[in-house]
């Protein structure tokens, strides 16, 4: 799930317009930002798997993506936004945790319950449906985008740019398609 995380952030914005859009969209990506940092520091590990969806194996991502740490990062992110109000901060924390929930659907059993736990979870749509996951995520994006656009029209809010925002998310999803991956 990549663009799907952003679509979830848009749906959250539609549900709670008082939450800052930037906070929700950053929130849904916090775990991946931490993952990038932790891999570059050698705290977490990956292995490239050319020709096997999704193109890499997440060998150890317990500090950025485990259930327990996702809750910790959610609380810390919400605390950073507490000055924006309890409701806005709580929704931004939910945005961070939504990343774990959506990754649970896609990841093939590489999400630990806590750092260094033996138990790992994930339904593995990436590996069960090497191309079908893309359509699953597209459907999720469509549902979130429809909700976002309907609420934007009803509330007459979000700056009148809802269609453009949805288009950007769709372009991100198309660019992440398994058919546009470089030849191996």
Question: 94-150, pLDDT tens digit by residue?
Answer: 999 999 999 999 999 999 999 999 999 999 998 899 889 999 999 999 999 999 999
Whether residue 183 is predicted with pLDDT greater than 70 in this model: the reply is no
Within a domain: residue 124? yes
Structure tokens at 116: 């260094």
Within a domain: residue 144? yes
pLDDT the model gives residue 184: 41
Question: 85-100, pLDDT tens digit by residue?
Answer: 999 999 999 999 999 9
Within a domain: residue 153? yes
Within a domain: residue 151? yes
Within a domain: residue 181? no
For the chain, what is the domain count?
Answer: 1
Whether residue 54 is predicted with pLDDT greater than 70 in this model: the reply is no
Within a domain: residue 99? yes
Mean residue pLDDT across the chain: 92
Within a domain: residue 96? yes
User: What pTM, to 2 d.p., does this model score?
Assistant: 0.91
Within a domain: residue 180? no
Give the mean pLDDT of 161-166.
Answer: 84
Whether residue 158 is predicted with pLDDT greater than 90 in this model: the reply is no
Q: Give dist(CA 181, CA 184) in Å, integer.
A: 9
DSSP string covering 27-53:
HTTHHHHHHHHHHHHTSSEEEE-TTST
Domain housing 92: 3-175
- Owner of token pair 């990062």: 73
Cis peptide before 98 (omega within 30 of 0): no
Whether residue 159 is predicted with pLDDT greater than 80 in this model: the reply is no
Q: Of all residues in the chain, what percent carry a pLDDT higher than 70?
A: 95
């Amino acid at each position: 799930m990549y663009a799907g995380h952003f679509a979830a952030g848009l749906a959250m914005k539609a549900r709670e317009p008082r939450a800052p859009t930037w906070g929700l969209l950053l929130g849904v990506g916090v775990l991946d930002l931490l993952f990038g940092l932790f891999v570059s520091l050698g705290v977490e590990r990956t292995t490239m798997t050319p020709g096997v969806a999704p193109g890499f194996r997440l060998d150890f991502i317990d500090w950025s993506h485990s259930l327990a740490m996702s809750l910790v990062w959610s609380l810390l992110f919400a605390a950073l936004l507490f000055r924006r109000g309890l409701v806005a901060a709580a929704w931004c924390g939910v945005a961070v945790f939504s990343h774990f929930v959506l990754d649970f659907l896609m990841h093939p059993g590489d999400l630990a319950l806590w750092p260094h736990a033996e138990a790992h979870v994930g339904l593995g749509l990436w590996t069960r449906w090497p191309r079908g996951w893309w359509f699953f995520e597209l459907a999720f994006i469509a549902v979130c985008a429809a909700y976002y656009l309907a609420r934007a029209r009803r509330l007459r809010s979000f700056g009148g740019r809802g269609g453009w925002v949805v288009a950007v998310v769709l372009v991100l999803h198309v660019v992440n398609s398994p058919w546009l991956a470089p030849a191996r």
